Amino acid sequence: MLPKLAQLFGISVDELVGMEDKPAKRGPVPKLLRQVEQVTLLPKAKQKFVSEMLETVIQQASH
């Protein structure tokens, strides 16, 4: 799931999980990014559910 989320945000998996230092951006953390961080703390089954929902929405938006 993490590679898909990283691709969605255009960042590396390391950046997504906070392993790679990146210059801090000014202003508040976008709501969607905060939500993704919270999803990574969920049990694997719930992460999969969220990932599948995101995938469905992305596929529908690209048509």
pLDDT (tens place) for every residue of the chain, 63 residues total: 788 887 887 888 888 777 766 555 666 668 888 888 899 899 999 999 999 998 898 889 887
**In a 3-state reduction of DSSP, which class is residue 20?**
coil
What the block records as the tokens of 17 is 């999980």
Distance of alpha carbon 7 from alpha carbon 16, whole angstroms: 10
Distance of alpha carbon 55 from alpha carbon 31, whole angstroms: 19
pLDDT at 8: 80
**Backbone conformation region of residue 58, classed left if phi is above 0, alpha if psi is from -120 to 50, else beta:** alpha
Contact 34/5 with Cβ under 8 angstroms? Answer: no
**Residue the block writes with tokens 């590679």:** 3
